[in-house]
Structure 1
Amino acid sequence: MIFPIVLAGATEADIASSADMVPMHFEDAAGIQSRYQTVLSTVAAPEFHTPTVLSSDSFAAVARTQLEAAGLSGRLLLEPGATKTAAGVIAALHSLRASADSLVLILPADQDFDDPNQLQDALAQGVQAAQQGDIVMLGVQTDRACRSHGYIECAQRLTAETATPVSTFLDQRSPAFDGWREQPAAKLWNTGIYLARLDTLLAAYKKHAARILMPGKTAVARGHQVDDILTLDPENYRRARGSSFENAVLRHLDGLSVVELDAGWDELDAWQVEPEVVSDAVWEAWLSGSVSGEAGWCKTLPHRRRAPAERPATTMRESSDAATLASWYSDQLRDGASPAAASQSTTETWGHSETLDMGAQHIVKHLTVLPGQSLPLSVATLGTHWRVVEGSAMIASQERVQMVWRDQSLTSGGEIQQIDNIGIRPLHLIEVAPARSIRMAERRVLSGVA
């Protein structure tokens, strides 16, 4: 999962006028969400962990009230006084309960998204570069200068599939910044949104901003925690230099990549995301809808569900519901149980395939895709259902690329072209394929038709 850090701090001027005004990202109106709420809604999808919100203690009540009003959850990390983004980011990183290779998304609360898919599509392009150790920046093409976060020059032409290496990054303090502003080609501006591994960010701070790293870390360790609100220790936090993240860290780095954020993209979402916890009745009804193909070419299942009642394997063989089969076998594998004796096990160039069950309607397999490898898709993929047991998969269709994470599922409607493991760990999948389609495909191969 991706751990979002939302930067919703305040300037000295904001704090001075806090009795009458709030920072721009908190401004709302009747029936209209603030940009802060819009950003939080954008990262409320199942692929994101609960966000950490960095804000000023002067606006803690506003941040909490708007969070609850939108029906969202989040952890508040409160700065004592005006925001210092470099110090605030390192404090937020140290407050995360995440493994070193976890992906972290840093984004400002004043970012305006017309559609949540704008962000998710851009992140899908940048995940692989981030997993490999780059800090991926999200840039936007515009005719005006977005001075607050700097300018990005690409080392090569932008592509729509992957991140592009950055040859030059100029933050607003750079002497050459105004020169770039006047050039017609200077149209890719930094949005202040970054995707990177946790250990990559910590290493960058250690090398280039050590004097900010230690005060930020200590401010977290000695901070005051009440429920899901952590107030940073004022004495230690004031020792951190008041630099921006771009000036303190980014401008010193070589391993930068960029993905274009398409702010004009407003296509309807093809991935249906449901609430995290649902009742058994709603779950079963929803599964029936997903199998019948009502949601288009594929459908993301709820990230978490209530624990199902135990069922013996003999009854599972009789089930005609591919999603239920995949969920049950996934739970068995994760719990360390052996769902069935493998009738066939093969080692492939891309990983390992193990047949768990061969029924009259479905053939169930446990697939292990090695890091950097792709699962080959045959002519029999129509109607095939996959569920991620461990790891993350990048799914390429005819129209878009999307990430699928642990406990999420998808059903092929014929448009899926490729399933890649772009992570650093093996990808474990449960595949439930219609037995009739596979047998027909085998006959075509034997007869020389396919």
Structure 2
Amino acid sequence: MIYPVIMAGGNGSRLWPMSRELYPKQFLDLVGEKTLLQETLLRLKGLDTAPPVLICNEAHRFLAAEQLRQIDQLNHNIILEPAGRNTAPAIALAAQTTLASDENAMLLVLAADHAITDEKAFRDAVNSATPLAEAGELVTFGIVPSHPETGYGYIRRGKALGGAFQVAQFVEKPDLETATDYLATGEYYWNSGMFLLRADRYLEELKAHRPDIYECCLAAMKDTQPDLDFIRINEQAFAQCPSESIDYAVMEKTERAMVVPLDAGWNDVGAWSALWELGNKDSEGNVCKGDVVTQATRDCYVLGENALVATVGVTNLVIVQTKDAVLVADKSQVQDVKAIVSQLKAQGRHEHRLHREVYRPWGKYDSVDSGQRYQVKRITVKAGEKLSVQMHHHRAEHWVVVSGTANVTIDGNTQMLTENQSIYIPVGSVHALENPGKIPLELIEVQSGTYLGEDDIVRFEDRYGRS
């Protein structure tokens, strides 16, 4: 049986300001109506596969779980990495997980943040690769290049075997002249980072070539802890694991590497220019999302999240407006957006890490306003959900219900609030907020006090395992 293994650990800094550390690009609907993660899973329909295994960062666990739940693919199937260690260890964790229930498990390793426009061609390539993987070959998918690209690694094909080829060489990202030469030979493919391989064969190869990674992952999986829909591995054991990609750890060393060509409109959505390439363009070559008005504008990507964005007399720009940031970049320079993210980190700012609107397992909050000793948030609690039982040392809170129904408990006393009603929570009071209704609860929270940071929360009970 084929088990899709979805790697969802990236941060996508080149797609700032939409992509942030705590809400990276794989969880955003940048290309279609669904998020990149959801699109990755939905394109598997038509293949004979087992339920997916998702590997993600601890900080993204509730985002991942909610997005799997929305497409009915959440089934205690999320492995949490306590620290990022690249793809070779992550795939080893998935291999051990699937082999525990299926000794013949095959892994279809996919990135959560890629786009594919021809889904049938993708499925056909997987079906073509399946007999090779069953026979013990380690198969990667090589993207048929459409132009000389300097942003990808390449795979040089060797001897033909049916519709596949032995891998002759993995090569690093080339300069433009070298990439042009690669394209002319017809022997090179872009390295997609997608694989199909038997779980037991992968572990055999990993043990042979990188026994240090193999042993660390084996130790990490010996002490797993189920937690809601998540699988927690041994944090201390995994912390000792070297960080290495599957390419360096296994694929460049094995004698059983095969490449199956894939021509399916693949894009790694690595920068804003990729979204311009994938988007539906108007007569002037512009891709516009949100409330956008253009005049004498050509070949631009313009996104307005919550405000009108107007452009006049500009060409070849990327303009992205979010609630707390605006990016303006030349489309040819968007690979350097990550340098802005580095500057924000160095300056101790928070815009690289989270949005003004922050998602939680119970819903979300939007930081509407803040100043000296006060902060205003709009809080949305999903139907049937509850915030943790908590207390603050430095701030008091005043809640006003905008819509829906709230059950509020303060120091053991519970009362129900409805639209236009309000309540005050003094500093040091143990309190909880719950939505007992069938519709989302919307309320305005006004915080006041000497310190208003999110780390001033002492949790006593929490249904999401955060206490």
User: What is the TM-score of this pair, normalised by structure 2?
Assistant: 0.50
CA separation in 1, counterparts of 2:68 and 2:150?
28
- For residue 190 of structure 1, give the secondary structure of its aligned residue in structure 2: strand
Q: Is the 8 A contact 2:85 2:244 kept in 1?
A: no
Amino acid across the alignment from 2:94: A
Equivalence for 2:7: 7
Q: 2:131 aligns with which of 107, 128, 131?
A: 128
Q: Deviations over 1:401-447 (max 9, x none)?
A: xxxxxxxxxxxxxxxxxxxxxxxxxxxxxxxxxxxxxxxxxxxxxxx
Alpha-carbon distance change, 239 to 20 in structure 1, aligned in 2, over 3 angstroms: closer
2:78 to 68, 76, 79: 76
* Equivalent pair of 1:126/1:259 in contact (CA under 8 Å): yes
Contact 1:171 1:177 in 2 (8 A): no
- Aligned partners of 1:48, 1:250: CA distance in 2, in Å? 24
Aligned-residue offset at 1:68:
1.2
Aligned pair 1:92/2:90, yes or no?
no
Closer, same or farther: CA 139–46 of 1 in aligned 2, 3 Å = closer
The answer to whether the aligner puts 1:166 opposite 2:164 as a matched pair is no
Tell me the CA shift for residue 71 of structure 1.
Answer: 2.7
Select 1:181's aligned residue among 179, 182, 185. 179
Please tell me whether the aligned partners of residues 100 and 197 of structure 1 are also in contact (alpha carbons under 8 angstroms).
no
Number of the residue aligned with 2:220: 219
Instruction: Look up the SS of the partner of 1:249 in the other structure.
Output: helix
Give the aligned residue type for 1:2.
I
Counterparts of 1:31 and 1:103, CA distance in 2: 29
Q: CA deviation at 1:44?
A: 4.3
Task: Give the corresponding residue for 2:104.
Answer: 101
Q: What is the match of residue 256 of structure 1?
A: 257
Listed as ranges, the matches of 1:176-255 within 5 Å are 180-183=178-181, 184-185=184-185, 187-255=188-256
1:145 — aligned with what? 149
1:124 alignment partner, SS class: helix
Contact 1:6/1:54 (8 A) holds in 2: yes
- List alignment gaps of at least 5 residues for structure 1: 266-450
Bigger fraction of residues in helix: 1
SS in structure 1 at match of 2:40: helix
Deviation at 1:118, TM superposition (A): 2.4
Q: What one-letter code is carried by the residue in structure 2 that aligns with 1:145?
A: E
Supply the AA of the counterpart residue of 1:91: L
| Paired residues of 2:138 and 2:257 also in contact (CA < 8 A) | yes
The one-letter code of the counterpart of 1:72 is Q
Q: 1:264 to 1:20 in 2, by over 3 A?
A: closer
Distance 2:150 2:228 in 1: 37
Distance 2:97 2:117 in 1: 30
Measured in 2, the distance between the counterparts of 1:253 and 1:101 equals 20
CA–CA distance in structure 2, aligned partners of residues 60 and 169 of structure 1: 33
CA positional deviation for 1:228: 3.5
Q: What per-residue deviation string (whole Å, max 9, x for no partner) do you get for residues 301-356 of structure 1?
A: xxxxxxxxxxxxxxxxxxxxxxxxxxxxxxxxxxxxxxxxxxxxxxxxxxxxxxxx
Contact 1:11 1:82 in 2 (8 A): no
Question: Against the structure 1 CA distance between its residues 209 and 145, is the aligned structure 2 distance closer, same or farther, given a 3 Å change threshold?
Answer: farther
CA distance in 1, matches of 2:214, 2:238: 10
Q: In structure 1, what residue type is equivalent to 2:82?
A: P
Does the aligned pair in 2 maintain the 1:163–1:257 contact within 8 Å? yes
Please give the secondary structure, in 2, of the residue aligned with 1:243: coil
AA partner of residue 91 (structure 2): V
Distance in structure 2 (CA, Å) of the matches to 1:2 and 1:214: 25
Instruction: Classify 1:171/1:209 alpha carbon distance in 2 versus 1 (closer, same or farther; 3 Å).
Output: farther
Indicate conservation of the 8 Å contact 2:4/2:50, yes or no: yes
Shift of 1:117: 1.9
SS class of match (1:254): coil
Cα distance, 1:133 vs. partner?
1.3
Cα distance 1:178–1:57, how it changes in 2: closer, same or farther (>3 A)? farther
Does the 8 Å contact 1:90/1:216 carry over to 2?
yes
Superposition pairs of residues 337-348 of structure 1, within 5 angstroms: none
- The 5 Å alignment of 1:324-335 reads none
Alignment partner for residue 157 of structure 2, among 154, 157, 167? 154
User: How big is each residue's C-alpha offset from its partner over 1:20-48, in whole Å with a ceiling of 9 and x where there is no partner?
Assistant: 75222111269711111011112344610
Q: Secondary structure at the match of 2:116?
A: coil
User: Secondary structure at the residue paired with 1:192?
Assistant: strand
- Structure 2 CA distance, aligned partners of 1:245 and 1:178? 26
Pick the structure with more strand per residue.
2
Deviation at 1:10, TM superposition (A): 3.0
Q: Indicate conservation of the 8 Å contact 1:94/1:220, yes or no.
A: yes
Per the alignment, do residues 10 and 111 of structure 1 end up closer, same or farther by CA in structure 2, a change over 3 Å counting? closer
Q: TM-score, normalised by structure 1?
A: 0.52
Q: Is the 8 A contact 1:12 1:82 kept in 2?
A: no
Query: Residue 117 of structure 1 corresponds to which residue in structure 2?
Result: 120
Aligned length: 258
Q: CA deviation at 1:232?
A: 2.1
Cα distance in 1 for residues equivalent to 2:189 and 2:178: 11
AA at the equivalent of 1:104: L
What is the identity, as a one-letter code, of the residue corresponding to 1:41?
L
Label 1:122 to 1:30 Cα distance change in 2 as closer, same or farther (>3 A): closer
Instruction: Give the direction of change, closer, same or farther, for the CA distance of 1:31–1:189 in structure 2 (3 Å limit).
Output: closer
Give the C-alpha shift of residue 170 in structure 1: 2.5
**Shift of the alpha carbon at 1:193?**
0.9
